[in-house]
Amino acid sequence: MSPRVTALRPDRRGHIVVELDGERWRTLPVEVAATAGLVVGRELDRPTVRELRRALRRSEALATATRTLRHRDMSATRLAQRLEGTRVAPSARAEALDVLARAGLVDDARLAERRADELAARGFGDEAIRHDLEGQGVRAELREQAVAALPDESARALKIVARRGPGPKTARYLAAKGFGEDAVEAALAGSVAADT
């Protein structure tokens, strides 16, 4: 005969203390107990235990993912890699990512736009921004959309040339910051034309 749930009591941390046959069994998050359908009088048979384990894995995956996102925005790919590193089961990982995406907490397009804007404001060129977004796990089409939404690369390079002055040293600096040849040449030519 399977053990029976004899009590469900809230604890101070917002969890539920589950008693089986009058003995304290374990403490569970409220959503896990609710998802598994734990109620006083219910037998803890094999199907219920399986559902309880699945709900617990989902809850742990979601908690791990939200803790990770608390520190910084992350692409779905990078978050999946992080969860994989914490040994979250693949099905629980997929469910957690789906829940977070539906809630708008994981949004690769938003991440790409914000990151591209941030890097452009810090003086990076389009190629460096694409490379960074690729490293963040952002898909190619979203990288291109984010870069296309930025102010013109030549105009951004011209501002740097105006601040640093024209010359080979500035040209090398721009190339190192990921500006394309055309943008560097246009900025240097524009700076020379503005000086005359």
Kind and range of the H or E element at 26? strand 23-29
Q: What is the spatial distance between Cα 85 and Cα 88, in angstroms, rounded to a whole number? A: 8
Work out the mean pLDDT of the chain and round it to a whole number.
91
CB 52 within 8 A of CB 45: no
Cα separation of 2 and 168, whole Å? 80
**Residue among 117, 115, 109, 125 at smallest CA distance from 157:** 125
Place of tokens 């690729």: 134
**What is the reported pLDDT for 5?**
92
Cα–Cα distance between 123 and 60 in angstroms, integer? 40
Highest mean pLDDT among 65-74, 84-93, 134-143: 134-143
Percent of the chain topping pLDDT 70: 97
Query: Are the beta carbons of 170 and 158 closer than 8 angstroms?
Result: no
- CA neighbor of 146 nearest in space, from 169, 124, 177, 171: 124
Judge whether residue 191 has pLDDT over 90.
no
The greatest distance separating any two alpha carbons of the chain, rounded to the nearest whole angstrom, comes to 94
Total-model pTM = 0.76
pLDDT reported for residue 195: 53
Pair type for strands 5-10 and 23-29: unpaired
Give me the mean pLDDT over the 2-20 stretch: 91
Give 194's pLDDT tier (boundaries 50, 70, 90): low
Looking at residue 70, its amino acid is: R
Q: Percent of the chain, pLDDT > 90? A: 64
Name the band, by pLDDT with cuts 50, 70 and 90, for residue 196.
very low
Which phi and psi angles does 149 have, rounded to 5°? Answer: -80, -10
What does the pLDDT read at residue 74? 93
Q: Is 76 helix (H, G, I), strand (E, B) or coil?
A: helix
Instruction: Give 113's pLDDT tier (boundaries 50, 70, 90).
Output: very high
Three-class secondary structure of residue 134 per DSSP: helix
- Does position 158 have pLDDT exceeding 80, yes or no? yes
What is the structure's pLDDT at 71?
A: 85
Mean pLDDT confidence for 46-60: 89
